[in-house]
Each structure stands twice: as C-alpha cells, then as structure tokens.
Structure 1
Amino acid sequence: MVDDRHHGPSASQSGNGGDALYNRAAPRSPGEAIKPTAAPPPPPRTRLRRRNGGFLSALSAFLTLLLIGVVAVGSVVYFGRQEFYARGPLKETQIVTVKGGNQTVAEALQREGVIDHALIFVMGLHALGANNSIKAGEYAFQAGASMKDVMDTLVAGKSVLHSITIPEGLTSDQIVARLLANDLLTGEIKPIPLEGSLLPETYMVPRGTTRQAVIDRMAAEHRKVVAEAWEARAKNLPIKSPEELVVLASIVEKETGVPEERARVAAVFTNRLKQGMKLQSDPTIVYGIVAGKGTLGRGIRKSEITEATPYNTYVISGLPAGPIANPGRASLVAAAKPAAVDDIYFVADGTGGHQFAKSLDEHNRNVRAWRKIEAGRTASQSFDRVDEEDSVDDEAGRRSELLDSESGTKGLAKAFDASEGTKLDPLKNKTYDLTSPKTVPQLRSVQ
C-alpha cells in the first residue's frame, strides 16, 4: 500500500476552505520548519480611531482657546486694576458737576480731564460694587486723584460746600431777599418766616440746596441757641420768656455793631425795664414805620418819634410787640446775661462805639461831646428840634434823648447803628415807600 501521510494533503484538507496551516508554502529547510508562525494581525478599526481623533481635537482646541481667553482676561483685569488705582491726570484741583447714569458720569469725568478711561472707570464701579452708589453733585477732585479716589468721593457724596453768610440784624424779609438773589440755591420760600425766628450765621451748603432748606436750618439753629441762652440766663433778668429774650436781643443787635458792647447795651435796657423807664430805642421807631421791608433811607421825623405803634418804644412801655430783626448768637447771649453795670444811657462816641452813663447829667455831657465831634465833621448839620416834615439828619436815623440842664428842653443826638443805612446794610439803596399808607406789622409771637 502506498503511505498517504507523506504525499501532501488529502482532498478534505485542500481547497479554499482548508486550514491556513496547509495553505502556506512548504518549508525550504528543517530550521524554517520549526520556526513559530506569526499571529495574524487584528481586524482594522478605522471608524473608531476616526471618531476618537475628532473629539480629542475639538477638546484640545477648546482648552487652547480657554487658556488664551483666561490669559487675555487676566491681562485686561491687571491692566484695568493698575489704571484704576494709578495716579490720575489732573494737574490741579478741579471742580466738576456730575449727574446722570454711570456712563454719563464717566464720560463727563473723562471730558473734564479727571480720568483717562471712562470704560475702565465704569468697570471699576461694577467690580467694587459701587455701580448704584454714586451721587450727583458738584465735586472738587484733587490733583492726581486716582479713579478709586474719584469713586470714593462720588460714593460718599462729598459735594463742594459753599458759604451762605447772613449778617446779624437783618429782618426776615431782608434774609429772604438775600437767599432769593443767591444763584447757588433753588426753589422758593413761602411764607416769609416770622420775625426773629432765624439765626444769622454762615452756613455751608452744596450747590442746588433749596432755599427753604436753608430757612429750615436757620430756624432750627435759632431754636437751639435760644434754648441754650434761656437756660443760662441771669437770675434777675426782667423778662419772662424765651420770646421776650429774642425781642430784647433784636434791639441790642440793632443798637451796636461793637461785639464788646453788646452785654453793656443789654444792661442799659434791662436796667430801664427794672426801673419802669421807656426803652427809647430808635430802631423800634424805624421798624414800626417800614415793617421790616427795608431801610428808612432818611432820618426820623419829629412826628414819627411821637407816633404810636406797637413797636415805638418812645411811646409804649416795656418791650415792643415783637422782634425788630433776627439777632445773632452773641446778642442772644448778651440779652440773657447783661453786664453787671448800672448804666441807663448811652450815646455815640465818634469811633463807632458808645459812651455809657449812669445819670442824666453824665449822659448830657456825653451828648455835648458827641455834638462837638459832629460839628467838627460838618458845620451844616444841625441836631436841634426840627419841623414836622423835616428829618433828623443822621446816617442811621437814630436819636438819643438829651435834657438840657439850662432850658429844660429836649434835643436830638446821633447814635450808631451796625447796619441800618450804612455801607453794611445790604438794602442800603432800597427804601420803603413812605407815600403809601404806613402799615404796622401785626403782633406775632416767636415760635
């Protein structure tokens, strides 16, 4: 028999369906026959590689862009922060009025040269939580102020303050006229405050403050000062209420412009009240004529000295019906604590002050000395009694009683007024129309 094991594959092992082992070429040598056969390669994975490769590429691109964005934002934030806190462009202090929204304010500040970058300023407001905190107003920005300094000023509302000075001794009508003429303020004042209810002072206010707000502040300060003066008043004071204190202080205010004299002038009037003497204060005559609307613009006529009004202390006894002006702090204190003297007379001394006297004889000597001073200034002036329609020729329309020891008749002597009719009077060139019926103010209590 023929041995088939050494003659190639059988029919069942040949053909396309046979094992790959029998399909390979026959070994060319015994060494090659014993070499291991390499494993076949894995099937192709083209679709999976393509899918994974696209995702990784997109992720890599995203991370790259993110990194670039972070670096860019960081650079912007760093630059913005440096600019926000850096010294600003102003070379000197500058006042700027700002209003509107943040962007409008920022643009105005950049336009005025306060800041260099409006956008960075707005971004800084947002970053620091001050977006809704800045306040409109008029501000003074210092030289070199940083955007942070500017923001702090706007958030704090540190507006520029302007001084409003109201001199002592003005009437309420005169004070209102001054406030209405001041273009720093806004709004109206209604009604006219009661006479003697305001405290003349220098008040610091921002531009745009309402006039009524200034009046309200003056009234509040007045009440405070009156309460303090009344609480500290002298024990033997011949007045009964804070309202009467204001009335007396208003007379003191109009009688002298010398600070050192106020307490002594107040003593003259309180001594007269204690002795039942008429106060005989010229400013009370004037107030009864013009009702606080302005100045008399001339001397007091003989007929006006004897004309009865609720304010004419040459006719009525005691204090007038109400204040004749708005007294200042010093006059209120002086009225509450008069000097401890026995004086009951005073007359001008030619230097802006007064000569005081305890007796009529002493007072008459002082009056004669004053007349000589006046005669030396102008020989044309006369201080004798004048006819009904003539006026006493003195700059302030003031008079002081003089009893001549020889004739027993009374004459007139000039006295000094701090503001009435002088260059200190803000309404010097405005006079009350005396051709119209004279209106005497109604009695009004001080509140």
Structure 2
Amino acid sequence: MKKVLLALLVLGVLAAAAAGGWYLRREQKITSFAASPVTLPQEGVTVSVPTGTGPRALARLLADAGIVTDPELLYLYIRREQAGPRLKAGEYLFEGTLTPAQVVEQLASGKVKVYRFTIPEGLRVEEILPIVAGSELKLDLKRLEQLAMDPAFLRKAGVPTASIEGFLYPDTYTFTRGASEEKVLAKMVERSLEEYRKADAQRKDGVRLSLLETFTLASIVEKETGQPQERPRISCVFHNRLRQGIKLQTDPTVIYAMKLLRGVYSKNIKKKDLETPHPYNTYTTPGLPPGPIASPGAAALQAALHPLDCDDLFFVSRNDGTHIFCPTLDCHEAAVRQWQVEFFRKQRQQQRTGGPN
C-alpha cells in the first residue's frame, strides 16, 4: 500500500512538473509572440471592428487581415493581459511595423481611423456640399442638400434663417467612419457659431448687427477682398454706407442674385444685371441682402463686428487683389478712371500692339 501511495505521489509530482513546464513554455511563447513585429504594407491595413466583437473573434479578424500571425496566441495574450474589456469597436488603420502588443494597445486606446476634408473661405453652399460628399466619408449629396434647406434641422443647428448658406464654416474637419450627414453639417454650423461668439466678444461699440446680419456682411467682406489687412476697412465702408442710407452696391451680391434668378453662376456682370431688381442685388435694394452669399472665415466675421475707423464710402480694385479707398465721390471717380478705364484701355492697347505703350 505504501508503495502504491508513493508511486501516486511521484506521478503527481511528475504531472505537476510537466504541467508547470507546459505552462511556462506557453507563457514564454505568448510573450515572444506579443513582442514579435509584423511589417504591414506601405499603405497600411484598415480593419473595422464591429460593436460586440469578442476577443476570439477579434483575434481571427486581425489574423485574417494579416496584422498578426497567430489568432490563438493573440487571443491568449488578450486574456492574459485582461485587455478584453478595454478593447473598443471602430475602424482602425494599422501602419508600419507593429507587434501584437502594440496592436492591442491601439485597440484599447480607441485611436480609430479618421477622415478629413477642408473647406476654403468664401465658398457657396453649392460648392461646399460636393466637397463634403466627395470626401472619404462617402456621404450622400442629396441628403446634404435636403438638410441644407430643412427648417427643423436648421433650427436645431442654430441657423437663424431658412438656408444654411454662410453657416458652413471654412475649416479642416476630422470625422470617423459612420459620421452622418446630420452630424457633419451640425459640426460645421457649430464652428461658425463658435467663431461668431469669439468675434462678438470683440464687438465694437455702436455696432448693432444681429447674428444673421453679421454673417451676411461678413460674407460680402469675404467675397470683396482676399487681403486680410483690408477686411476691416472694407467693413468700414459698408458700415458707413449703411449708416448714411447709401446702397451698398457691391458686385458679389449682384452675381449671387443673378445665380438665384438664372440658376447659373457667372462672374461677368452686365449693365442689365445691375438694374435687375432682386433682394440680393444691393444696386437695386437698399441695406443688407436677406442672408449671406458665401461662408465667411474668422477674419471676415471679426471685421464685420469690429470695422476700422474711417470716412471712406467707396473702394476700387487695383486689379491686383488690393483696393483704393475714397471718402468722396470725386476721389472715387478719379480712382475709377485710373484703375478701371485707363488700366484696361492700356491693357487692350498692349494686346493690339504686342507691347507696352
């Protein structure tokens, strides 16, 4: 009997030793696997992890994508590190050379793949929405267009008028896969209102523009000059004209009015266009137009609410992106002769003769 017990004891010790050795070898294998790097393709590998994906299914998903070499060892590593509860669903971009441990850490950090698009200053809504739809977010253009005119959506987003025109802030935006059309447009409006609040905090004494009027004037300032240093002075001219009851007579509003009337955008203004009555035509209609004509940036919003102190009532393009400013009609007419009549007369003459006069 004693011999039997001794034999069993020896077998137990041997079995425990064997189990311990197996466990040690397995742990060493897991540790070695977790630290072994895998070099991914140059463009990286994108993997979408659905909500509710368990550790074993996740390990298989990553192995099938070529991000790790052994799904079972990855599963065991996740269990050993108790990382399962920390792993987050989403779309991930894995790039470069990564160890399985680094892959798990990225999944635990929630550092998902993002998509960006950029909206330049001064674009109209019909120019902005195709940029948004054409981004890698793959949003639906028709849905974007519907939302841009949806009263319920606009009210919820904080747009104080019946169109989103002017309230899609020019900026670079970052979203993750799955962002809806509503979320994207709401974020763009939110950025516009955020910049308005910043400009409003620096509002000049005596400037009493409403939110809608601010965006409307800022959009005109944005379209009138690409020179940041000129915006406060351009704004001053318009404030002076508004205060004195003089029509704004700004060409970008005429172009916008003709687009609304004819459905075609053209920068070529004719005498007939200037005389065509329309709420957006500031040659025929006094005061500000009913709403913005484009999306203004931060500098234009600031200029609208904090114009320069000046006596100017007119400005004329020098045809190089800058302007001549004038406080009187005589000064303005002289500038028109120099920079419009004579400037283009000389250009035509040079074209005919093949050189300067």
TM-score interval, normalised by the smaller of the two chains: 0.7 to 0.9
CA distance in 2, matches of 1:105, 1:119: 11
Shift of 1:337: 0.9
Partner AA of 2:128 in structure 1:
I
Q: Any conservation in 2 of the 1:95–1:140 contact (CA below 8 Å)?
A: yes
CA distance in 2, matches of 1:338, 1:62: 91
Q: Any conservation in 2 of the 1:95–1:138 contact (CA below 8 Å)?
A: no
Q: Any conservation in 1 of the 2:132–2:139 contact (CA below 8 Å)?
A: no
Q: Any conservation in 2 of the 1:186–1:208 contact (CA below 8 Å)?
A: no
Shift of 1:107: 4.5
- Aligned pair 1:221/2:203, yes or no? no
CA distance in 1, matches of 2:42, 2:288: 53
Shift of 1:179: 1.4
Partner AA of 1:134 in structure 2:
K
> What are the Cα deviations for residues 223-249 of structure 1, in whole angstroms up to 9, with x where unaligned?
111122123110022x33122111110
Q: Any conservation in 1 of the 2:209–2:305 contact (CA below 8 Å)?
A: no
CA distance in 2, matches of 1:126, 1:294: 62
Q: How does 1:154-233 map to 2 (within 5 A)?
A: 154-187=107-140, 188-189=143-144, 190-192=146-148, 194-233=164-203
- Aligned pair 1:137/2:137, yes or no? no
Q: Unaligned stretches of 5+ in structure 2?
A: 150-163, 352-357
Q: Any conservation in 1 of the 2:38–2:67 contact (CA below 8 Å)?
A: yes
CA distance in 2, matches of 1:154, 1:291: 50
2:285 alignment partner, one of 316, 338, 344: 316
Q: How does 1:190-339 map to 2 (within 5 A)?
A: 190-192=146-148, 194-237=164-207, 239-291=208-260, 296-297=265-266, 299-339=268-308
Shift of 1:128: 2.0
Shift of 1:108: 5.1
Shift of 1:93: 6.6
- Aligned pair 1:96/2:66, yes or no? no
Shift of 1:103: 4.6
- Corresponding residue SS for 1:97: strand
- Corresponding residue SS for 1:191: helix
Count of aligned pairs between the two proteins = 328
- Corresponding residue SS for 1:347: strand
Q: Quote the residue 2:355 is aligned against.
A: none
Q: Quote the residue 2:157 is aligned against.
A: none
Q: TM-score, normalised by structure 2?
A: 0.82
2:18 alignment partner, one of 58, 68, 73: 68
> What are the Cα deviations for residues 386-438 of structure 1, in whole angstroms up to 9, with x where unaligned?
xxxxxxxxxxxxxxxxxxxxxxxxxxxxxxxxxxxxxxxxxxxxxxxxxxxxx
Shift of 1:112: 5.4
Of residues 272-281 and 162-171 in structure 1, the stretch that sits farther from structure 2 once superposed is 162-171
Q: Which structure shows the higher helix fraction?
A: 2
- Corresponding residue SS for 1:343: coil
Q: Unaligned stretches of 5+ in structure 1?
A: 1-48, 382-447
Highest CA radius of gyration, 1 or 2?
1
Percentage of identical aligned residues: 30
Query: RMSD of aligned C-alpha atoms?
Result: 2.7
Shift of 1:379: 5.1
- Aligned pair 1:340/2:309, yes or no? yes
Q: Any conservation in 2 of the 1:87–1:144 contact (CA below 8 Å)?
A: no
Q: Any conservation in 1 of the 2:232–2:308 contact (CA below 8 Å)?
A: yes
Q: Any conservation in 2 of the 1:174–1:293 contact (CA below 8 Å)?
A: no
